[in-house]
Amino acid sequence: MVRTLVFLGLFISFPAFALDYKLPDTPFNFEQIKADNLLIEQYKESQKITFKQKDNKLIYEWVLWNVADVYTTNRAISGGYAKEVNPFLPDYPSLERLIAQKLVVNYVLYQMDFFESPRLVRTSNVIGWLAVTNNNWIIINNE
């Protein structure tokens, strides 16, 4: 009880003797603050990734089947039911290797403006879903 009262007494009196409530002697430079804020906003805007396509449904579908492909491929390989047929990967890649390969390929495709062509993305999505379906078929037949 005494310990609690001492703590409360110190807590209540702390701001009175420990903090200085005076503003700095130098005035704020509001023009500099506004200029800095503008620079920060410009930087944040420059870091945004934007697609020319207004409808991103194809991009969302692309991401979805890529995630499903990594999951089903890893599950089939981990279960010993299949091996990777991608020539850029070993027969039995690790999950980290599968993810790294997807990231690199997607980055290269993004740099090549691949995602700005709805026709290419739509066709690739169909092929991607076929690969996921094949992986699922292999898993279902072997479990």
Per residue in 15-33, pLDDT tens? 555 556 666 677 778 888 8
Closest to 72 measured CA to CA, from 141, 2, 1, 3:
141
Give the number of domains in the chain: 1
Domain hosting 78: range is 57-142
Chain-wide mean pLDDT for the chain?
Answer: 85
**Is the model's pLDDT at 80 over the cut of 70?**
yes
Kindly state whether residue 40 falls inside one of the protein's structural domains: no
- Give pTM, 2 decimals: 0.62
Kindly state whether residue 3 falls inside one of the protein's structural domains: no
Closest to 138 measured CA to CA, from 49, 90, 72, 91:
72
